[in-house]
Each structure stands twice: as structure tokens, then as C-alpha cells.
Amino acid sequence: MEFGNNVVVTVGHKAKSEHFALAREMAEKLGAPFSERGNTSLDALRAIYGVPFVMVVKEKLVVDTPDGELYFHPGMAHLRLKNLRRGENDHLLRSLGISEGMRILDCTLGMGADAIVESFGAGTEGEVVALEKNPVVAALIAHGLQTSEGEHPATVAAMRRVRVVCTDYLDYLRAQAEDSFDAVYFDPMFRHPFTESAGIHPLRFLADPRPVSEEAISEARRVARSRVVLKESSKSGEFARLGFTEFEGGKYSNVRYGIMRFD
Ligand SMILES: C[S@@+](CC[C@H](N)C(=O)[O-])C[C@H]1O[C@@H](n2cnc3c(N)ncnc32)[C@H](O)[C@@H]1O
């Protein structure tokens, strides 16, 4: 799948000088063309450059897709962190067995919500490295994590600590030493999207949809000191295919976490 040349970067109408600077920076990072925009519509830009996506720098950074705008939004993570601060449980943190100071490898950054929750759980002494195959998604979410303000200082601090790496997780895993992370997490695009948001979310146009391979799980087992976790639909055959036999998740939830533990 080729992502590099399917986007053009531009600014919103009434752009400020800092918007132009960020748009040029993003274009360079992505190896994508930059357009001054002028009065050109986004659809016209798509046609001129022959690309499906337009990254637009305005008050917030967005990627315009055929199914609406994709942008960083810490909302879901906020709610989960609020619950955690109240002493409630988070299924992901339990599955990964996260405690302060741990090193977590999140293989599937996506919109970054899980990575923020992991970062909160691992605390200021911990580390979360989050991988994303699609350079447009990686750049968009890395920028949001570094610049967005949140409702709570602890959320903002957790966002800032996530280290985003744009790469294929299999390549990254192969290059890591044995036991170099405490836990490794996969949240692939579901084989069968079942929630409303998964069905209509613009991320589906950009995300790498491939299933997790047996080799990736075997590499993750080597790299993880303590656990490998896979998030999937509760009815998914992926758990059986990949050898997960222990599970965590809400009784009535469609989502399940498969756990392999070595601790
Ligand atoms: C379902 S989303 C992850 C959602 C994320 N957990 C969150 O909280 O927003 C899956 C993401 O993993 C990325 N991805 C899929 N295969 C990948 C691979 N081989 N290497 C790196 N990233 C990958 C997709 O592009 C997509 O952005």
C-alpha cells in the first residue's frame, strides 16, 4: 500500500503566517506537494494533484477525506482518564498489566486514544512508543499529541510523553532486542467493523487494514517481557487464529482484549 503520494498539503482560507509555516513543514515531512490554496476548493485541489486526501492547516490540523475530516481529538481518552482518576478500572490498562515506570509498545497508534491512556498508566517514569504505518495519520496525531490542550494537566502531560514512530510494526519489532518492552499492544482495524464509529470513521480510508500476522505475534512475544495484548471484536476468530486464550473486557461490550502473559 502506497501512502506517500496520495495527499496534498495546504492552508485554510484566511490563513495566518504560522499556518503556512506548518503546512510547508508537513509537506516536507510527508514528501507531499504544498499548495498556497488561494481561492481553490479542496475538491479542485484533489483533482489538480490527483490525490484523495488534503491536509489542511487552519486553527486545527485536519485531513480532509472522502468521508469527512480526520483530526486529533483527545475526547475519548479524557473520559477514560477521568474514570481512572476516580479509581475506576480501564480494561486496556488491566490487560497490559501497566504500572508506573513501564515501557509499552503500542503497535497501532491510530487516533492515539489508547496510547494516551497507556502513557497515563505508565506515568512520568514510564515510556510509550506508538507506531503508525500511515505517514499522514502519524504526522497528524503526533502533532495533536504535542500541541493539543486538554481539560486536565495530567492528560496533557500523558499526551506529550507518547513517542510516535512512523513505521510498520513488523519491521520495528524485528529490530528490537528480546524483552525490551514490558508489554506490546495491537489494535488492528477490525476484520468486521461493527460499531457505528468504526463504520463511518474517516480513519478507515487511511488506515492499514491488514490482519496481524503470526510472525508479528511471535516477534511481539520475543520483544515483550511480560504481555502481548490484542484488541478485537468479541466474536472475532482472530484470537483463536493467533493463539490467545485469556481475555479481558466488559461483559456486554463488543470489544475484547486477548492476553498472552509471561509474568
Ligand atoms: C484501529 S486503529 C488503532 C486505534 C488506536 N488504538 C486508538 O486508540 O485510536 C489501527 C491503526 O493501526 C495502523 N496499522 C495497521 N497496521 C499497521 C502496521 N503493520 N504497522 C503500523 N501501524 C499499523 C492503522 O493504519 C491504523 O491507524
Edge-to-edge strand order for the sheet containing 68-70? 7-11, 53-57, 61-65, 68-70
Angle between helical axes of 75-85 and 113-122 (0-180°, round to 10):
30
Report how far ligand 1's centroid is from the alpha carbon of 223 (Å): 19
Query: Which of 2, 133, 145, 254 should be mutated for ligand 1, with most atoms under 8 A from CB?
Result: 133
More confident residue, 84 or 199: 84
Q: How far is the CA of 150 from the centre of ligand 1 (A)?
A: 23
> What is the rounded CA–CA span in Å between residue 262 and residue 70?
37
Domain boundaries, the chain: 7-59, 75-261
- Total Cβ atoms within 10 A of residue 94: 15
CB 224 within 8 A of CB 154: no
Confidence of residue 191 (pLDDT cuts 50, 70, 90): low
Q: Tell me if 208 CB under 6 Å of ligand 1.
A: yes
Mean pLDDT within 97-126:
97
CATH code of the region 75-261: 3.40.50.150
pLDDT, average across residues 148-159: 91
Measured from the Cβ of residue 69, the count of other Cβ atoms closer than 10 Å reads 12
| pTM, entire model | 0.95
Residue of 104, 173, 208, 229 to test ligand 1 pocket, by largest number of atoms within 8 Å of CB: 208
The residue nearest atom 18 of ligand 1, judged by CA position, is 168
Residue 198 has pLDDT above 60, yes or no: no
